[in-house]
Amino acid sequence: MARQFFVGGNLKMNPDTVAAKVALIKAINVADLDPTTELVISPPTIYLLPLKDILRKDAKIAAQNCYFKDSGAFTGEISPAQLADAEIPFVILGHSERRTLFHETSEIVATKTRAALDKGISVILCIGETLAQREAGETAKVNEAQLEPVIDLLKESDWSKIVVAYEPVWAIGTGKVATSQQAQDTQKDIRAFLSKAVSPAVAESTRIIYGGSVNGSNCKELAKLPDVDGFLVGGASLKPEFVDIVNSNKV
Ligand code: PGA
């Protein structure tokens, strides 16, 4: 079965005002979107519920992070149980900004992934190498090391609720997009690894999306690649061209 094209808009800690966020959602609501694309919008935590209420019903809301405990004395955190209670169906985990700035290890990301799945929340699981690691020829090794702790904690059936986002750190927010060759080769390797480490069926059905400076001009070419099943979009998700990215899988 063909993998459904998936586009996530990662708003990060943007834009600054409630009004700007509402305007962004309203623009998405009136846009003519490819109905075959699964669309997920990920605002900062404080806006999850109000934006969920106004977002078109054929799109979904995602949290940008969560903790792995259900409740307790964890100031500043939000739990998978709370996301489930708020009917937030997706969470982004392991984004490179979380790994780098907030020191999340692959083991922590795996524990969070397990906790989110246990509450029925689907996970956009981000992995990717730095420029130094790519230049040292370590891309596959790094991606596999980031996936391994997750693989250890998941059952085969859990993978239907995982979207893997390959996001080379050097391409995130830099305007430097991976070439088609780099994206395809790396994502093919990730799929081959899933086949070996989990199962051929999981490798075949799991969406592997690309993230890192995707915009309205480069999305069409990337969308054609056989192992690119969609995008996780930062900067361009705040702009009108986001609609072109959502529609980039249209033939
Ligand atoms: P970018 O961010 O599109 O601004 O490069 C992508 C991401 O961090 O998910």
Mean pLDDT by 10 residues, the chain (251 residues): 94 90 93 97 96 97 98 97 98 98 98 98 98 97 98 98 98 94 98 98 98 97 97 96 95 65
The residues, ordered by sequence, that sit 6+ positions from 95 with a Cβ below 8 Å of its Cβ are: 10, 64, 65, 126, 167
For residue range 152-202, what is the model confidence (pLDDT) as tens digits?
999 999 999 999 999 999 999 999 999 999 999 999 999 999 999 999 999
pLDDT of residue 250: 78
Closest CA to 191 of 228, 141, 238, 158: 228
| Alpha-carbon gap, residue 162 to 183, rounded angstroms | 19
Assess whether the C-beta atom of 172 lies below 6 angstroms from ligand 1.
yes
What are the domain boundaries of the chain? 6-27+36-246
pLDDT of residue 16: 82
Q: Of 38, 95, 97, 104, which residue is the catalytic one?
A: 95
| Alpha-carbon gap, residue 180 to 188, rounded angstroms | 12
Of ligand 1's listed atoms, the one at least distance from the Cα of 175 is 5
Q: How far is CA 135 from CA 117, 138, 170, in A?
A: 34, 7, 11
> Contact 4/207 with Cβ under 8 angstroms?
yes
Please name the helix (run of DSSP H) or strand (run of DSSP E) that holds residue 126, with its range, or none.
strand 122-127
Q: Could you tell me if residue 189 is left (phi over 0), alpha (psi between -120 and 50 degrees) or otherwise beta?
A: alpha
pLDDT of residue 251: 65
Assess whether the C-beta atom of 9 lies below 6 angstroms from ligand 1.
no
The residues, ordered by sequence, that sit 6+ positions from 2 with a Cβ below 8 Å of its Cβ are: none
| Alpha-carbon gap, residue 231 to 183, rounded angstroms | 11
Tokens describing residue 83? 């996301």
Pocket probe mutation, ligand 1, options 99, 232, 244, max atoms within 8 Å of Cβ: 232
CATH 1.20.120.450 fits 6-27+36-246, yes or no: no
Supply φ then ψ for residue 123, to 5 degrees.
-125, 130
Q: Could you tell me if residue 67 is left (phi over 0), alpha (psi between -120 and 50 degrees) or otherwise beta?
A: beta
Of ligand 1's listed atoms, the one at least distance from the Cα of 8 is 9
